[in-house]
Structure 1
Amino acid sequence: MAPVSLATPPAGARTASRDTAEHRAADEAAALFRADVIFGLSQPQKALPPKYFYDAAGSRLFDHICRLPEYYPTRCELEILKARAAEIGALAGPGASLVEFGSGSSIKVRLLLDAMAEPAAYVPIDISGPHMRAAVARLAEAYPAVAMVPVEADFTQAVRLPPLGEGGRLEGRRVGFFPGSTIGNFTPEAATSFLAHVGEVLGDGSALVIGFDLAKDRAVLEAAYDDRAGITAAFNLNLLSRINREVGADFDPGGFRHKAFFNGTENRIEMHLESVREQAVRMGRHHFAFARGETIHTENSYKFSVDAFLAMARHAGWRQRAMWTDPKGWFAVAALEREVG
């Protein structure tokens, strides 16, 4: 049940070697985090990659967000998955391996595992190791016949699926799962590239079940990303605390406020952290000045039409097998198949 390292040593290697590889991977991840922060805060429009939201605290806060009354995507997607689980199970076929990109809580994946015929394996890929391991431990108890092989990695980067099953291959069809409209965090160009990357990871003949958010009223969108309880604000501000702890910066989270709004020109929600006063932040030899009202752009969440999403998917080598929406038409789940060749 331990996460698979992308530098996993051969069977029989000494524990010391495995520990060294894991420490090396952790050091590389920390160095990348630091480099991304320095680069992002050095831009004219300061920005930070949203993947860094998800340390242990951030993952817990996001689970809370998903239960908020304003945050419709989770409820809408669950409604679709519950109604269409049997169709997804039939698409997967017997003995399939389910590969989730960016594993979150286990509620959605349980719907798919329950609908699949004798699933061989569940392979979650996530940057937040502790949160992923806790979710996988719960799943392992509920699905003892399914091999659980978590991969602690940035799923947007080069990822190799671990060997599994007879002959060191994933058994049955490989079915990707990318719920929650995380695809909306990418620019359209980057989203197309990511979908092509997923196809390369899963291989020819694979399938992909993916959720995406649909365009709708501005008030509904903005409430979903700026809830009255302030949980999304805490989630956004937690990024500064993580940078302080892991990179050695001296951000004062009280010097920033959460800001979320719909950008109609780009058809996306933007999340920012806005400086409430003139201030400076230090990180080693690096100093970053903030004017009052200056922001750090932390996340985009693009909203799609069905036609626009399918055009993007086709460009990335996928063809539509099925498309479902909730009764309100607020959210969509697509079932795609990888074109061969």
Structure 2
Amino acid sequence: MNFHEDFVAGLRERRIAPKWFYDAEGSRLFERICELPEYYPTRTELALLDRHADEFAARIGPGAEIVEFGAGASVKVRLLLQALEAPRRFVPVDISGEHLAEAAAALRADFPGLAVEPLAADFTASLALPPPVGRRIGFFPGSSIGNFEPDEACALLARFRRWLDGGALLIGVDLIKEPALLHAAYNDARGVTAAFNRNLLARANRELGADFDLSAWAHAAFYHPPLRRIEMHLVSRRRQAVCVAGEVFEFDEGDSLHTENSYKYSVDGFRALARRAGFEPGPVWTDAARRFSLHWLEPAGGVSERTSG
């Protein structure tokens, strides 16, 4: 479904898919989130990529093709590309075509010998990749796998395995940790995450002619321990009616729109999920505080099992 259809259906169910956060403005706001002091995942993952770049390059090998799912600004993949030996092509995939084109242009300028072929697509629905030009390696950083229900995450990983055509997947996974750290990461003092959340309604105003009053919606994010996930909501501050594409939706004070989940995993828990999807888990790299992890997944056996700090 497109944004119009999916957003209206989501309003009926009081749940909007988080993929619709990422229009040009939402992508810009998310880049700001990644720079916030409270938001540990980005800087932790970047440090891991920098520290272990040579290990990743040795596993990927020369002449490879990198496919990044949910590429955004393609900041993290630069650390991989710099370490690789003669990569043949980079295929960034993202739902926000405008943002993707800007990132691809910057990569072409900085990596003049690399073929950069962006693909504006919703990889959560379907994906038609070009024929591979070398060993195809998938890259899915940022713990985005946590946005999916576990069964959905398993199905997505299985699709990645098929699309990679025998290649491996390097994936970022956020780990279970103190609820206070998680709460701070999703409720930053500057209110950038709140603006990112409310931008979903602003996008509906811009693109669907909706009449959401953004001041009438509060950002709410909290950790749900039994489900091991952060939940993000927009909560109606008062009784109100909203018109979207000619359809009226009524909300009472306290009603919420569920806009995102972010599941947190243990290392062993995620490895079990990967096995269900048809991958053989390989090495795992974590930071010293074990806040974040990078997993190497192969579609076949024979991979050593170890954890690098």
SS in 1 for 2:227: coil
Aligned pairs (5 A) from 1:33-48: 33-43=3-13, 46-48=14-16
* Alignment equivalent of 1:178, drawn from 126, 135, 140: 140
Q: How does 1:127-276 map to 2 (within 5 A)?
A: 127-162=95-130, 169-204=131-166, 206-276=167-237
- Aligned residue for 2:159, secondary structure, equals helix
Residue deviations 1:53-103 (CA, integer Å, cap 9, x gap): 001110000000000000000011011111111111111111000000000
Under a length normalisation based on structure 1, what TM-score does the superposition of the two structures give? 0.87
SS at structure 2 position matched to 1:249: coil
User: Is 1:32–2:2 an aligned residue pair?
Assistant: yes
1:119 is the counterpart of 2:87: yes
In the TM superposition, what is the alpha-carbon distance from 1:339 to its structure 2 partner? 2.6
Amino acid at match of 1:224: A
- Quick one: distance in 1 between partners of 2:87 and 2:154? 29
Letter in 2 for 1:265: P
Of 251, 263, 272, the residue aligned with 1:302 is: 263
Task: Tell me the CA shift for residue 105 of structure 1.
Answer: 2.2
Once the two structures are TM-superposed, the CA of residue 245 in structure 1 deviates from its matched residue by: 1.3
Q: 1:55 aligns with which of 5, 11, 23?
A: 23
Higher mean C-alpha deviation, range 241-250 or range 262-271? 241-250
Distance in 2, Cα, partners of 1:226 & 1:315:
33
**How many residues of Structure 1 are paired with residues of Structure 2 in the alignment?**
301
How far has the Cα of 1:140 moved from its partner? 0.4
Letter in 2 for 1:54: Y
What SS is found at the alignment partner of 2:226? coil
Does residue 280 of structure 2 align to residue 319 of structure 1? yes
Q: Which runs of 5+ in 2 are unaligned?
A: 302-309
Describe how 1:283-302 pairs up with structure 2 within 5 A.
Answer: 283-302=244-263
CA distance in 2, matches of 1:56, 1:132: 9
Indicate the SS of the match to 2:38: coil
Matched, 1:84 2:57: no
1:109 aligns with 2:77: yes
Contact 2:74 2:92 in 1 (8 A): no
The aligned counterpart of 1:331 is 292
CA distance in 1, matches of 2:134, 2:172: 23
- CA distance in 1 between counterparts of 2:226 and 2:281 reads 28
CA distance in 2, matches of 1:78, 1:125: 20
SS where residue 265 of structure 1 aligns?
helix
Deviation at 1:194, TM superposition (A): 0.4
**Secondary structure at 1:317 match in 2:** coil
Measure how far apart 1:330 and its partner are: 0.3
Specify the alignment match of 1:14 in structure 2. none
After TM superposition, the structure 1 stretch with the greater mean CA deviation from structure 2, 277-286 or 191-200, is 277-286
- Consecutive unaligned residues of structure 1, counting only runs of 5 or more, are 1-30, 163-168
Deviation at 1:39, TM superposition (A): 1.1
Q: Distance in 2 between matches of 1:86 and 1:338?
A: 22
Which residue is 2:42 aligned to? 74
Post-superposition CA distance 1:224-250 (Å, at most 9, x none): 001000000000001101011112211
What is the DSSP-based 3-state SS (H/G/I as helix, E as strand, rest coil) of the residue aligned with 2:241? strand
Matched to 1:142, the amino acid is D
Write the deviation string for residues 104-125 of structure 1: whole angstroms up to 9, x where unpaired.
2232111000111100000001
**Contact preservation (8 Å) 2:243, 2:249:** yes
Q: Distance in 2 between matches of 1:107 and 1:246?
A: 28
How many percent of aligned residue pairs carry the same amino acid?
Answer: 52
